[in-house]
Amino acid sequence: MKTLAVVITTPPYSHLTITALTYVEAALVAGINVIGVFFYQDGVMHANEDISIASDEYQAIEHWQRLQKQYQLPLHICITAAEKRGIACDAIDNDKINKAFTVSGLGELVELTTKASRLVQF
Amino acid sequence: MTQKEQKSSGASPQESVLAIINSKAPFSSSHGKDALDVALIFASFEQKVSLFFQGDGVYQLMDKQDGSLLGMKDYLKTFSAFEFYDIEDIYVCQQSLVNRQLGEDFHIDNVQVLSSIEFGLALNRHQHVLRF
């Protein structure tokens, strides 16, 4: 079975994110097995619970949450990249991280890459 | 992981898992360092990874640079550990060097200078590509 993994290196306020989300959703709707999305570099900011984007603009984070819920799509953030950007991952009651996201490391990217038939970066 | 690797390398011995394209100059952003971290992780999981340098990315290979003069951690020094990590396939785009009037004075060994066509063909031998 064809599998797809996606790497997001763009922040939630980037227009590239819209393309990424449209792409991922189209793949899911087409029945492609999207094995996970890995957020690296500025991409980890999608998991920042404190980000607030003007209500008349594209709500990237809400769309990730929706896809995660609807399709059980795994969303992994790189812990090193996240902590560098003020998203503390080791706190016990962590309210900085959006619950839709899983804290992972670059090892997860290796895992996804070796499993996926195709890897696409945005 | 090991089993999987054996399986995939058995199916297509010519193909490496990941190509990383470095396209940014070393010290104005963290792209180079982020790419290096990915390369080293893949290598430590015994996945075959190749490095490609293109555009301003070629500056990451030039000799006689010292990031510490800018007060930053000089991640370029870690390039000398590639051999230890079995990262052997390092390619640089000749046209990018020519465009910037740079010679072939690299701070690491085993860098292969490729024409645009060869560069493209080498990239094509990889299953996945990440660009930084």
Matching residue, tokens 């990315």: B57
Mean pLDDT is lowest, of A7-21, A49-63, A106-120, B13-27, for: B13-27
pLDDT for the residue numbered A92:
58
Residue A110: which of B45, B127, B132 has the nearest Cβ? B45
Q: Domain for residue B2, yes or no?
A: no
The count of residues in chain B is 132
Nearest CA in chain B to A41: B34
Per residue in A40-82, pLDDT (tens digit) is 999 999 999 889 999 999 999 999 999 999 999 999 999 999 9
Residue A109: which of B38, B131, B132 has the nearest Cβ? B38
Q: Domain for residue B59, yes or no?
A: yes
The predicted complex's ipTM stands at: 0.91
CA atoms within 13 A on the CB side of B32: 24
Higher-pLDDT residue of A86, A12: A12
pLDDT for the residue numbered B3:
44
Per residue in B74-94, pLDDT (tens digit) is 999 999 999 999 999 999 999
Inform me whether the pLDDT recorded for B13 exceeds 50. no
Matching residue, tokens 């465009």: B99
Mean pLDDT of all residues in A88-102:
77
Residue A41, exposed/middle/buried by CB under 10 A (0-12, 13-18, 19+)?
buried
Q: How far apart are CA A119 and CA A20, in angstroms?
A: 12
Higher-pLDDT residue of B4, B17: B17
| Number of domains observed in the structure of chain B | 1
Tell whether B7 is within 8 A of chain A (Cβ).
Answer: no
| Number of domains observed in the structure of chain A | 1
pLDDT for the residue numbered A95:
74
Nearest CA in chain A to B4: A114
Q: Domain for residue A59, yes or no?
A: yes
pLDDT for the residue numbered B15:
72
Q: How far apart are CA B104 and CA B61, in angstroms?
A: 9
- Domain of B34: which CATH number? 3.40.1260.10
Q: Domain for residue A92, yes or no?
A: no
Could you list the residue range(s) of the whole structural domain that residue B96 is in? 14-131
- Do the chains contact at A113 and B17, CB–CB below 8 Å? yes
**Distance from the A19 Cα atom to the nearest Cα atom in chain B, whole angstroms:** 17
Per residue in B19-54, pLDDT (tens digit) is 999 999 999 999 999 999 999 999 999 999 999 999
Could you list the residue range(s) of the whole structural domain that residue A55 is in? 3-87+101-121
Mean pLDDT of all residues in A98-102:
92
Mean pLDDT of all residues in B67-73:
89
Angle subtended at Cα A18 by Cα A14 and Cα A20, rounded to the nearest 5 degrees: 100
Enzyme catalytic residues of A: 78
Contact list in B for residue A81 (CB cut-off 8 A) is 34
Mean pLDDT of all residues in A90-119:
88
Q: Domain for residue A94, yes or no?
A: no
pLDDT for the residue numbered A86:
86
Q: How far apart are CA B21 and CA B32, in angstroms?
A: 10
- Domain of A19: which CATH number? 3.40.1260.10
Q: Domain for residue B9, yes or no?
A: no
Contact list in A for residue B8 (CB cut-off 8 A) is 114
Q: How far apart are CA A87 and CA B42, in angstroms?
A: 25
Q: Shortest CA distance to B128 belongs to which of A120, A57, A16, A3?
A: A120
